[in-house]
Amino acid sequence: MNIIFTVCTFFIYLIFVIGYVTQINGRSKCFSEIYEKACNEEESNVYCIKDHKKKSSVYTFKHILKLLLEKKKSDNDKIGFVENSCGEINNFMTYGTFYEKVCSFSHSLDTYGGKGIEARKYDEDKNNGMFKLLGLYGSNSINWLVTDMGCMMSGATTLVMHSKFSIDLIVDILKRTQLEWLCIDLDLVEGLLCHIKELPHLKKLIILDTLVKYKKKGINEEESDDEKKYEGLRKDSNNKKNNKNNKDNKNNKGNKNNKDNEKNHHHHNNNNSINNKKNKTEREGEGGKNALHEFSNLEKDVSSGSFEYDKEKLEKLNVLKEKAKEFGISIIEFDNMTKGIKKTNMKIQNEDPDFITSIVYTSGTSGQPKGVMLSNKNFHSTVAPLCDHNVIKNMKPKTHFSYLPVSHAFERVLVYMAVILGIKINIWSKDISCFSKDLYNSDVEVLAGVPKVFTRIYTNIMTEINNLPVLKKSLVKNILSLRKHFNNGSFGKFIEKCTNISSRIKGNVNPKMQMLLNGGGKLSSKIADELCVLLNVDYIQGYGLTESTGALFVQDGLGCNTENVGGPISSSTRYKLISWEKYKANDLCPKGELFVKSDSMFSGYFLEREYTKNAFTDDGYFKTGDVFQINEDGSLTFLDRSKGLVKLSQGEYIETDMLNNLYSVILFVNFCVAYGDDSMDGPLAIISVDKSLLFKCLKEDNMLEGTGVNEKNYSEKLIDEILNQSIYVDYVKGKMMEVYKKTNLNRYNIINDIYLTSKTWDMNNYLTPTLKIRRFNVFKDFSFYIDQVKKKYEDKLKGSSTDSKSSVKSGGKKEEKENKKNDIGENKVKSEVKNEVKNEVKSEVKNEVKSEVKNEVKNEVKSEVKSEVKNEVKNEVKNEVKNEVKSEVKSEVKSEVKSEVKSEVKNEVKSEVKSEEKNEKKAKERLTKSKISKPEQRNVLKCEQNNAVCNFPTNKKIVKETNLKQLRVPNVPELQVNA
């Protein structure tokens, strides 16, 4: 069967391969051109957009509100804004009504209380130092947008702060700017009033909330025609959800009856009913939209009976008003700034291109937030080219799903673009539990997001696929894997037409979605590629900063891949790379830190002259702090953040951002934060895990035996102290190694030291409002672990072999106990000692004690065996040494004795010889005197004197009488005697 499938696949591939290759080859495009040659070896050429001279004449400056006015004239009665609550439509507004509210709000800012917002003098060069500041501290809403554009019209400058900033940061910003007027969400007022004594300048609070809600009719009450239409509008989104549930139920029913032939027929009928239901849903959706257009002038006024005041909000508001009065603070309802004031001929008070129209406080990934000053020209230089971008012109989207913080430049620019192009803005419910409903009902074609959002969508889809029956799961994964290789060509589309797997997945997310737009950070290429296959959508990404007024570089949708971020969108943008560390700007493909100059680039940091000066070069280029590569086609590929590139002790560089993205693809990993420096041999990581997903993975891999963790208690058991036991740490490291082995990275990118945490990561501690990681906050709070790992490497250099895991565990124990109370709260701590979990705790402790005792006994036995072996070896060595010493001593003694005996014998012989000589001499004298003649005596004496060989006379008588032995001379070299 597999062979037949392979052969068929091969022939089908041959049919489509030519078209596929042609399609790929036809997508080549040049994104930029050289504007200026490099000045030195440390920097690249200066680049700009292709045909920049031609395009620069197209985008002449025009105030954004003027572009809005043009849209208002053509689409006055068209629905432009929709708000959701708990996954259902709660409010909507036409472009005409929106423009009226903008004008009315602008008028109130100029005239409220007889003088409106007054300008104040600040130590700034921009705006001649005079600013009319209005703070904006709230989440996405129609009223937020009315406030923003009303300020543009009145010449006021919005001071924008993320709604997820901690109250301490907000207070610090308000104190530094001496702000008097602040627009704020009702839920945030109470926290602010707790610090009101620190804010002597604050005088007015404008509540952004809408204080009326739709009124439900009783059984016997009749609804007006407008009310019926509005109710129908609300039901339209519910119908979509019901249709989705019906689809899922029927598909599940068909799957369960797959083996039975009779039930297969029933499943076929269900599929027909699903298709009919789908067509019906589309018709209902069209009817709902027509109702929106037809009844867009519906006045949502309490007096009409269609709406009523939200009593809960009103009660809260009244309490806060009384409390604010005590401090001299006036709380104003938003409707009081627009109601009863109809102004449609307001004039834009400041159209100067360099006028600072907004100050946006950055999310501050590397420190305290700074106020980025953005001018009218900055916004136009970004928004105008985006409106004319290839993706927008080709896709022609009808809806924008607004869920990213509109206080962030990325989302704010997209909203401006949507307003100018007449794209309906669908604002989410501001409740994460309703996100899936809002996304499904939004009908969005191009979903803009940040890496964390797309990672979570991918994780949820893969979790559902892994929960399928084994056979079905294997089939789905194999088909998706096959499609992944041919996703951009005809063959991949052919497979999808045959299987419809991706269409079914997308049908549960958002059936109309056609493209994903990623910004705000680099998404893992693996996740991006697989999402394109899973959802059968295209993918583009871009790069930008708050300082660049959002998007700076964007792919154009042609020949895009998941590695590069495209080219510049503005004809005014100039950019170059400067060599940094191991990256060289003079390479064939230049690499280095990105420096940018553009009309979309900000004017400076508010009240921070030193920061502003350090942010720019002498020739006006902004230092982004991000490392890029310029490709052959002029597109840019993000490599790392300059602060994320670290050198290890061996001199090897690692890219921590790349590692964070690499290991974040693991199903249960929420965030990964890698750390390293030149005192370490390898990186470490702080890993935030999802308890629920980690438990599921542990269960699937049969890793829970003996741990005491089950479905009922895993949320209480999987706390930091327990998670950093070896069983969990080794399991996670194993998963990380599986990911690593799929790469071609060197061994220095393996992370051997990890700390697992299940603490909540949010905007109050480690995340920015755009879900970027505040790495310095992470490093600070987990410094106890970082210090312990660094100590391990220090001890290693000194020759000490300490165990990192045990030292970290003991070193961080105190810190973990302190964090435990904050993480799980007093109630959870108490619940751990309740009677329900006593048995489980006993079992767990028993297992831990057994393990500890086993290790102790093992160590004791090891030490005993070591001692015994040591003694045995010692005795053997002693005996060997004894024998060796004995033989050596014997040999030495032998030699000494020989020498002594020899000398003794020699001395004895000498003494004997001397004695004999004396005797001989005496004998000679006697013999000479008595018997030898005088001539003979003379011969003997002469012989002795000359030491010569003497020939004694051969007188037989003498020889006979003389003893020959007595005549022998001692063996002395001076005298030789021949007998």
What are the phi and psi torsion angles at 228 (to 5°)?
-65, -40
Among 132-136, 604-608, 689-693, 921-925, name the one with the lowest average pLDDT: 921-925
Boundary of a domain, candidates 823, 851, 866: 823
b/e sequence 592-602, b meaning 16+ C-beta within 10 Å = bbbbbbbbbbb
Model confidence at 835, pLDDT cuts 50, 70, 90, reads low
Give per-residue pLDDT as tens, 467-486.
Answer: 888 888 888 888 888 887 76
- DSSP per position, 693-752: HHHHHHHHTT--TTT---TTTHHHH--HHHHTSHHHHHHHHHHHHHHHHTS---GGG---
Q: Exposed, middle or buried, 200 (CB in 10 Å: 0-12/13-18/19+)?
A: exposed
In a domain, 951, yes or no: no
Same domain, 711 and 603: no
Residues 596 and 655 in one domain: no
SS3 631: coil
CATH code of 701's domain: 3.30.300.30
**Above 70 in pLDDT, residue 236?**
no
Pick 459 or 965 by higher pLDDT: 459
**Residue 824 predicted with pLDDT over 80:** no
Count of Cβ atoms closer than 10 Å to residue 413 Cβ: 20
- Cα Rg of the chain, angstroms: 46
pLDDT band at 791 (very low <50, low <70, confident <90, very high): confident
Does 593 share its domain with 692? Answer: no
Domain-embedded: residue 869: no
* 489 or 249, higher pLDDT: 489
Q: How many other C-beta atoms are found inside a 10 Å radius of the C-beta of residue 208?
A: 23
Identify the pLDDT of residue 952.
43
What was the pLDDT predicted at 123?
92
Q: Would you say residue 663 has pLDDT above 70?
A: yes
Are the beta carbons of 536 and 506 closer than 8 angstroms?
A: yes
Strand partners, 605: 372
Name residue 91's beta-bridge partners. Answer: 83
**Strand-pair partners of 359:** 159, 373
* pLDDT (0 to 100) of residue 279: 43
**659 & 538 share domain:** no
What is the residue range of 743's domain? 649-823
Strand, helix or coil for residue 772: coil
Composition of the chain by helix, strand, coil, percent to 5: 55, 15, 30
pLDDT at 630: 93
734 occurs within a structural domain? yes
Burial class of residue 198 (count of CB atoms within 10 Å of its CB; 0-12, 13-18, 19+): exposed
Does a structural domain hold residue 20? no
Tell me what pLDDT residue 617 has.
92
What is the pLDDT at residue 978? 38
Mean pLDDT of 44-57: 83
Structure tokens at 290: 């027509």
Is pLDDT above 70 for 194? yes
Tokens 């913080």 locate to 405
- Largest alpha-carbon pair distance within the chain? 186
Tokens encoding 39 = 């000045």
pLDDT tier at 151 (50, 70, 90 boundaries)?
Answer: very high
Give the best-scoring range by mean pLDDT among 81-95, 549-563, 645-659. 81-95
Average pLDDT over residues 628-639: 90
pLDDT confidence tier of residue 216, bands split at 50, 70 and 90: low
DSSP string, 290-333: HHHHHTTT----GGGTSEEE-HHHHHHHHHHHHHHHTTTPEEEE
Would you state the pLDDT for residue 135?
96
Asked if 637 and 564 count as a contact pair (C-beta separation under 8 A), the reply is: yes
Which pLDDT belongs to residue 588? 87
Whether residue 613 is predicted with pLDDT greater than 80 in this model: the reply is: yes
Mean pLDDT (whole number) for 340-349: 72
Q: What is the pLDDT of residue 385?
A: 92
- How far, in Å, are 908, 929, 950, 955, 965 from residue 922 at the CA level? 21, 11, 19, 21, 14
Which is more confidently placed, 201 or 951?
201
> What are the residues facing 120 on neighbouring strands?
131
Which of residues 712 and 959 earns the better pLDDT score?
A: 712
Gap between the Cα atoms of 478 and 471, Å rounded = 11
- 273, pLDDT greater than 80: no
Residues 365 and 468 in one domain: yes
Task: Identify the band that residue 418 occupies on the pLDDT scale cut at 50, 70 and 90.
Answer: very high
Query: Tokens for 677?
Result: 């420096």
| Backbone torsion region of residue 504, taken as left when φ is above 0, otherwise alpha when ψ lies between -120 and 50, otherwise beta | alpha
Please report how the helices 804-811 and 813-832 are oriented relative to each other, as an axis angle in degrees rounded to 10: 70
CA distance 364 to 769: 10
Question: DSSP character for 582?
Answer: T
Q: How many CB atoms lie within 10 A of CB 262?
A: 7
pLDDT digits (tens, 9 = 90+) for 528-547: 888 988 998 889 999 999 99
**703-714 pLDDT, tens digit each:** 888 788 888 888
Look at residue 40 and tell me whether its pLDDT is greater than 80: yes
With a CB cutoff of 8 Å and minimum separation 6, the contacts of 665 are 455, 524, 526, 527, 739
At residue 265, the pLDDT reads 41
Three-class SS of residue 347?
Answer: coil
Judgement on whether residues 350 and 499 belong to the same structural domain of the protein: yes
Task: Tell me whether residue 791 is exposed, middle or buried, using C-beta atoms within 10 angstroms of its C-beta: 0 to 12, 13 to 18, 19 or more.
Answer: middle
Distance CA 173, CA 873 (A): 75
* Same domain membership, residue 816 and residue 745: yes
Residue range 959-968: average pLDDT? 43
**CATH code assigned at 93:** 3.40.50.12780
Residue with more model confidence, 140 or 433: 140
CA dihedral 715, 721, 726, 729 (to 10 degrees): 60
User: What percentage of residues in the chain have a pLDDT greater than 70?
Assistant: 72
pLDDT at residue 868 above 90?
no
Is there a domain that residue 62 lies in? yes
Residue 928 binned pLDDT confidence (cut-offs 50, 70, 90): low
pLDDT at 257: 45
d(CA 564, CA 584): 18
On whether residue 465 sits in a domain, the answer given is yes
Residue 898 in any domain: the answer is no
List pLDDT tens digits, range 439-469.
Answer: 999 999 999 998 889 988 998 898 889 888 8
Tell me the whole-structure pTM to 2 decimals: 0.68
Q: What is the pLDDT of residues 55-106, one digit of tens each?
A: 777 788 889 888 877 766 667 788 899 998 887 888 888 888 898 899 999 9
pLDDT at 374 over 80: yes
Q: What is the mean pLDDT of the chain?
A: 78
Is the domain of 598 the same as that of 664? Answer: no
Q: What are the backbone dihedrals phi and psi of residue 80, each rounded to the nearest 5 degrees, phi first?
A: -115, -20
Residue 850 domain-assigned (yes or no): no
Judged by DSSP in three states, 340 sits in: coil
635 Cβ contact partners less than 8 Å away, ≥ 6 residues apart: 31, 32, 555, 564, 565, 566, 567
Give yes or no: residues 659 and 754 share one domain: yes
Q: How many domains does the chain have?
A: 2
Q: Once rounded to an integer, what is the mean pLDDT over residues 641-656? A: 75
What average pLDDT does this structure show over 735-747? 87
- Which of 823, 855, 874 delimits the end of a domain? 823
Gap between the Cα atoms of 367 and 646, Å rounded: 19
Q: Is residue 682 located within the same domain as residue 579?
A: no
Domain identity same for 584 and 670 = no
Residues in the chain: 979
Strand order in the sheet with 591-597: 32-36, 46-49, 574-578, 591-597, 622-630, 636-641
Both 598 and 675 in one domain: the answer is no
- Is the pLDDT confidence value at 24 over 90? no
Confidence of residue 253 (pLDDT cuts 50, 70, 90): very low
Among 823, 852, 875, which residue terminates a domain? 823
Q: Tell me the per-residue pLDDT of 804-816, one tens digit each, with 9 for 90 and over.
A: 444 444 444 444 4
Comparing 857 with 398, the larger pLDDT belongs to 398
